[in-house]
Chain A
């Protein structure tokens, strides 16, 4: 199937039509091979941590989760994201410190988890996700856990695990594929229980194994879990294994988390490979310009594209597009001329002329000036913003200029206005400097500038003025009403709101359905719609009281009557419609419709007459005469 192997298929693809962007994308590696390597020692099962998520108050489960559960659930999360977004990635799931063994080299203490119809390292499938979700129950029976390296043994499961993972990642060239091992463990000192020569020997061989693996172009990343009263000490062993030094080490320590949410966050961040959309120059004044890379940090994710299938064979169809001349019916090549009617002529343009019209600026991004941030109104927006970061190939001078500008803009509270001369839609943009935001060691907002696309006057509509009151001033709220509103706002406060917190219920549902269908299950599990208001929270007495007080201050005591009246009041248009229907009903009675239908004389009536029947019977009145006639006949059951 040719569609399936299409490497261009990518839900995150941006529709920038810039040829540069295409090239740069090809250079970056687009596929990833990932081995999830999970420690299954008894310590992973015995250590627990509270799974509280502080934002959702009504949802407090005090059940503790083991580290092993945390690892499994974050991997499951990540697999689901991968099958949706990057389904050409290949994954393998591998446990170590296991009782059973299953791997190509037949090494002890390592178990590669897999499902039918799939290689160890392969694209994630619906079945893999499904069975992985149910793995926990059967784990002790089929795979089993055991202690890590114990005194008196010569077995080194960690060494074996890295070897197995390396062997799994043997396929594919390091040039086109990113290869990674993600290691989940809570044991900061895997050889802590052995001593002397055995310890140093094991340490040495394991580090050597890891180095050999890295030399093959495979990255090893560590996702450590800290025990509640004992911080994961990376310097004991793993710093050497993954090759951390100096500052990196300090940063890494801070980011080691112990909560499920933290782990999910970390994993999610690591699963994203940075992709540049475009590369261009930002001209500040003649002679000073900055090399920039642009990135799409926020773009709507939509359900994957549709593939048309033959409903008999379920095989994909190929679509073919043909052009033909509407006048002669002759097949034509895709033409390079376009036309637009104007003053009863057809004005013809060549595509070259059309692109010339759009070339209104020299250069990609020209600085026009600066304005205070408060001048950037909330309605200056058209589409998702684009993130700008100085190019890593850029000269030091360019980097320095960017940083100076970035810092001064933040300090002076200004944004830059620039003109972006892209070929698809040249337009003014606002550039906002964003300072780096780091929370508990994790970068929340990267440093750089956000490019916001500004509307033109042609794009802005004057809705408020349209509803201005010609009879004079409109009433504005009194101070007391504003105070009541303020009380209400204080009561219904979302303290830690962040845009990351809601999943798109439509998308979740979409993929739940697909997963169920792919596995041929009868029942589709219900998803939880996280976007619904917190009803329990809203029913808290203090909130209810604040709502009531606000209501009374604005609507008085008779809100309920008021609202009923409000909807009952017919508008000008609805009165007209009603009168029209009544008229039609009356007119409608003047005809013997049954008779007309039987004798086939309906078609002799005018459209206006036919519509009497239709509007008299609340039927749609759209369409051509034939459609009206057949609609009447259908309605009469003839």
Chain B
């Protein structure tokens, strides 16, 4: 049997109280098998249903009992048949007894594998555990469960129990639920059982680990607290991104008849000398070069190995520090977990003592790590305590890599207090923001946290595997829309918003009103053309406005557009101002032309155009001006405003030619003739 090949039995409750959640169960279980078809295609899967109308299992024929348990698929190597069966689970009619199902499943695994395959036999139970289990012939239910749990451990079986509760469960007898929880807890204590309670469909999706990845030790050895104190630890990755599968490039060149065609596309890299593009330089004639300033320094791998940084393997403590000295956003990569060497009680104790003390004192440890011998770099990171609240799980540490001095870019940003008063929220706005935050609470008191990363599946991957399976049946199928359940990960929960509509409305009102001042002036201009000064700054108190204008111009007003433009374009605190000034000026000019009554705005618009032209030449943005003038011209043609073009031509306004700004692609001739020519054309 191949290494890591596992046998998994899905124990699914299909009783009446489960019906409403079965569509989600179908989706998650079929995805599990779809993924196995790709990553673990030699794994075996079987399906046991309980709460069914019928009864069909070996135990019932052999010893009787075990009613309403159906072995839908015997354990077999994964195939499309199992996927399809899972996509259409029958709806049962009787109350399910999960313990019966567990016994039937154990029996199947024991018959098939006996003592072999320890640790590679897995049961996965999905139920709401709302229905009572039957009383045993002798002893109490607790004793029965304990016996079964012991058997499970003895045969090296693992179990995952996903119990559906919360908003997903309907009215149920509390006593029965409590009893069942107690019984399930015995499994969790006595065996390697993961017991999970899920309260919403997304968590159900995320709770079932759909892919088995055998963890690889990153480091095995000593955590060196000092030269004389070493704790034996193992280091594993705690998080690692599950990537979108790499797809191969497809070639359709092979003839249709070729049944063995691979359809693969191979990539070949060739290195050619710069002088002679036909000459291919073979690998042994190539040498690596690194850039150092204007030079490229050649260095061979052997030379490099001789001189490069070679740290000794080891994990060393640099010291402890207040957890406030490390900021959360400084974590650099995926996360590691440090556990004490299993079976080494002293090491387990040492890790436990340290992590508990660190937690109490709010301290973290700084470590320097070279995971492997021969590695050419080290990492500095922060070790944080992970105190376990479960009896059978030892305490451990999480480890995050921190940046080196070279990795940090200390950009400076203006303080929020330096912005004008109109950007500062008032008391009422702050209040409505606070209410909004409280309203959109994803972890309300007494309820289970929603969108917990540990239980949130990757919607892209789920969609991909679904589509892959769809395409295997219908090659021309188009991409299905994102599953309704998964959409709750990418979009806000509408229920939450609808419930407290008033809070949202007040939030919206507080902040929406100000709108977009960049667009507003245009609309305002339509009513009146003059005497609009400062209207877009209406939210700012007047005293502040004056001071703020004298310091830095951030908008082009209506009163003195040319001066505002000039002040803004010559601001040197950010290169963006030039483009913003040009953009704002263009809008202003457009507005003037558009709102002009019988040409009353033309002189002012011309003034602005001349200022814009000058600015664009100074800042070497001739294209900005030329494109704008052409655009304006077309606009005037469409809107029957040819008179403006004529006016401009009469005042001798031209495009910016190459002689005035080197970046321009307009010749002198073109520049001069642009408006003149268009005039004659429009006639």
Cα distance, A302 to B455, chains bound together (Å): 34
Q: How far is the CB of A185 from chain B (nearest CB, A)?
A: 22
Q: Is A611 positioned at the interface, with any CB of B under 8 Å from its CB?
A: no
| B-side contacts of A392, CB under 8 Å | 574, 576
8 A-B Cβ contacts within 8 A? A27-B579, A338-B250, A366-B492, A436-B416, A447-B413, A461-B215, A472-B391, A518-B292
* Given A500-B408, A531-B378; A340-B285 close (CB under 8 Å): no
7 A-B pairs besides A318-B271, A348-B471, A443-B412 with CB distance below 8 A are: A305-B291, A369-B440, A379-B335, A448-B413, A454-B453, A489-B358, A510-B309
Chain B residue nearest to A443 in the complex (CB): B412
Contact with B along A1-42 (1 / 0, CB 8 A): 111100001001000000000000001110000000000000
| A-side contacts of B228, CB under 8 Å | 544, 547-548, 551
**Contact B281–A497 (Cβ < 8 Å):** no
| B-side contacts of A347, CB under 8 Å | 468, 471-472, 475
Q: Is A63 positioned at the interface, with any CB of B under 8 Å from its CB?
A: no
Cα distance, A123 to B497, chains bound together (Å): 57
| A-side contacts of B210, CB under 8 Å | 458
| CB interface residues, A 349-400, toward B, < 8 Å | 349, 353-354, 356-358, 360-362, 366-372, 375-385, 387, 389, 392-393, 395-397, 399-400
Contact with A along B210-231 (1 / 0, CB 8 A): 1101010000000001111110
Interface centre among B192, B239, B384 (most CB of A within 10 A): B239
| CB interface residues, B 85-109, toward A, < 8 Å | none
Interface size on A, residues (CB 8 A): 225
Q: Is A269 positioned at the interface, with any CB of B under 8 Å from its CB?
A: yes
| B-side contacts of A306, CB under 8 Å | 288-290
| B-side contacts of A3, CB under 8 Å | 296
| A-side contacts of B441, CB under 8 Å | 369-371
**Contact A566–B250 (Cβ < 8 Å):** no
Interface centre among B237, B300, B453 (most CB of A within 10 A): B453
**Contact A360–B486 (Cβ < 8 Å):** yes
**Contact A465–B393 (Cβ < 8 Å):** yes
Contact with A along B388-414 (1 / 0, CB 8 A): 101111111010101111111111110
| B-side contacts of A414, CB under 8 Å | 437
**Contact B512–A288 (Cβ < 8 Å):** yes
Q: Is A507 positioned at the interface, with any CB of B under 8 Å from its CB?
A: yes
Q: Is A504 positioned at the interface, with any CB of B under 8 Å from its CB?
A: yes
* Given A298-B329, A464-B388, A465-B194; A317-B317 close (CB under 8 Å): no
Cα distance, A497 to B517, chains bound together (Å): 45
**Contact A319–B250 (Cβ < 8 Å):** no
Q: Which of A312, A375, A498, A554 contacts B349 (CB 8 A)?
A: A554
**Contact B295–A126 (Cβ < 8 Å):** yes
Q: Is B139 positioned at the interface, with any CB of A under 8 Å from its CB?
A: no
| A-side contacts of B318, CB under 8 Å | 494, 531, 533-534
Cα distance, A572 to B207, chains bound together (Å): 32
**Contact B437–A343 (Cβ < 8 Å):** no
| A-side contacts of B268, CB under 8 Å | 321-324
Q: Is B649 positioned at the interface, with any CB of A under 8 Å from its CB?
A: no
* Given A397-B516, A419-B490, A477-B352; A468-B393 close (CB under 8 Å): yes
| A-side contacts of B286, CB under 8 Å | 308-311, 317
**Contact B239–A379 (Cβ < 8 Å):** yes
| A-side contacts of B251, CB under 8 Å | 325-328, 332, 335
| B-side contacts of A320, CB under 8 Å | 269-272
Q: Is A404 positioned at the interface, with any CB of B under 8 Å from its CB?
A: yes
Q: Is B325 positioned at the interface, with any CB of A under 8 Å from its CB?
A: yes
* Given A125-B295, A397-B516; A308-B289 close (CB under 8 Å): yes
Chain B residue nearest to A466 in the complex (CB): B215
Lowest 10 CB-CB distances: which A-B pairs, in order?
A397-B514, A450-B329, A477-B353, A338-B247, A404-B425, A457-B206, A485-B357, A446-B413, A327-B254, A506-B377
**Contact B292–A507 (Cβ < 8 Å):** no
Q: Is A591 positioned at the interface, with any CB of B under 8 Å from its CB?
A: no
**Contact B320–A445 (Cβ < 8 Å):** no
Q: How far is the CB of B304 from chain A (nearest CB, A)?
A: 8
**Contact A368–B437 (Cβ < 8 Å):** no
Q: Is B628 positioned at the interface, with any CB of A under 8 Å from its CB?
A: no
**Contact A554–B346 (Cβ < 8 Å):** yes
Contact with A along B229-246 (1 / 0, CB 8 A): 110100011111110110
**Contact A309–B490 (Cβ < 8 Å):** no
**Contact A384–B253 (Cβ < 8 Å):** no
* Given A494-B319, A507-B404; A458-B458 close (CB under 8 Å): yes
Q: How far is the CB of A363 from chain B (nearest CB, A)?
A: 9
**Contact A436–B393 (Cβ < 8 Å):** no
Interface centre among A382, A404, A559 (most CB of B within 10 A): A404
* Given A308-B288, A322-B267; A455-B433 close (CB under 8 Å): no
Q: Is B454 positioned at the interface, with any CB of A under 8 Å from its CB?
A: yes
Chain B residue nearest to A513 in the complex (CB): B307
Pick from A67-75, A148-156, A405-413 the stretch touching chain B: A405-413
Contact with B along A274-292 (1 / 0, CB 8 A): 1000000000111110000
**Contact B408–A379 (Cβ < 8 Å):** no
Cα distance, A10 to B447, chains bound together (Å): 49
Q: Is A550 positioned at the interface, with any CB of B under 8 Å from its CB?
A: yes
| A-side contacts of B457, CB under 8 Å | 456-458
**Contact A338–B321 (Cβ < 8 Å):** no
Cα distance, A29 to B334, chains bound together (Å): 34
Q: How far is the CB of A351 from chain B (nearest CB, A)?
A: 9
Q: Is B297 positioned at the interface, with any CB of A under 8 Å from its CB?
A: yes
| A-side contacts of B225, CB under 8 Å | 488, 547, 550
Q: Which of A399, A419, A427, A547 contacts B229 (CB 8 A)?
A: A547
Q: How far is the CB of B467 from chain A (nearest CB, A)?
A: 6
Contact with A along B317-339 (1 / 0, CB 8 A): 11111000111111111110101
**Contact B239–A460 (Cβ < 8 Å):** yes
Cα distance, A9 to B245, chains bound together (Å): 30
Q: Which of B269, B291, B513 contacts A87 (CB 8 A)?
A: B291
Q: Is A452 positioned at the interface, with any CB of B under 8 Å from its CB?
A: yes
**Contact B539–A524 (Cβ < 8 Å):** no
Q: Which of A175, A409, A478, A550 contacts B619 (CB 8 A)?
A: A175
| A-side contacts of B384, CB under 8 Å | 378
Q: Is A622 positioned at the interface, with any CB of B under 8 Å from its CB?
A: no
| A-side contacts of B539, CB under 8 Å | 396
Q: Which of B247, B254, B518 contacts A349 (CB 8 A)?
A: B247
Q: Is B137 positioned at the interface, with any CB of A under 8 Å from its CB?
A: no
Q: How far is the CB of A26 from chain B (nearest CB, A)?
A: 11
Cα distance, A497 to B380, chains bound together (Å): 12
Cα distance, A421 to B429, chains bound together (Å): 28
| CB interface residues, B 549-569, toward A, < 8 Å | 551
**Contact B327–A348 (Cβ < 8 Å):** no
Q: Is B508 positioned at the interface, with any CB of A under 8 Å from its CB?
A: yes
**Contact A452–B329 (Cβ < 8 Å):** yes
| CB interface residues, B 270-299, toward A, < 8 Å | 270-275, 277, 281, 285-299
**Contact B449–A499 (Cβ < 8 Å):** no
**Contact A126–B254 (Cβ < 8 Å):** no
Q: Is A428 positioned at the interface, with any CB of B under 8 Å from its CB?
A: yes
Cα distance, A466 to B122, chains bound together (Å): 13
Q: Is B485 positioned at the interface, with any CB of A under 8 Å from its CB?
A: no
Cα distance, A481 to B493, chains bound together (Å): 47
**Contact B378–A458 (Cβ < 8 Å):** no
Q: How far is the CB of B481 from chain A (nearest CB, A)?
A: 10
**Contact B394–A318 (Cβ < 8 Å):** no
Q: Is A401 positioned at the interface, with any CB of B under 8 Å from its CB?
A: yes
Interface centre among B242, B376, B407, B510 (most CB of A within 10 A): B407
**Contact B334–A383 (Cβ < 8 Å):** yes
* Given A340-B248, A459-B239; A494-B394 close (CB under 8 Å): no
**Contact A445–B453 (Cβ < 8 Å):** no
**Contact A504–B404 (Cβ < 8 Å):** yes
Q: Which of B437, B456, B504 contacts A408 (CB 8 A)?
A: B437
Q: Is A296 positioned at the interface, with any CB of B under 8 Å from its CB?
A: yes
* Given A285-B507, A345-B472, A357-B460; A499-B419 close (CB under 8 Å): no
Q: Is B311 positioned at the interface, with any CB of A under 8 Å from its CB?
A: yes
Q: Which of B226, B341, B449, B514 contacts A371 (CB 8 A)?
A: B449
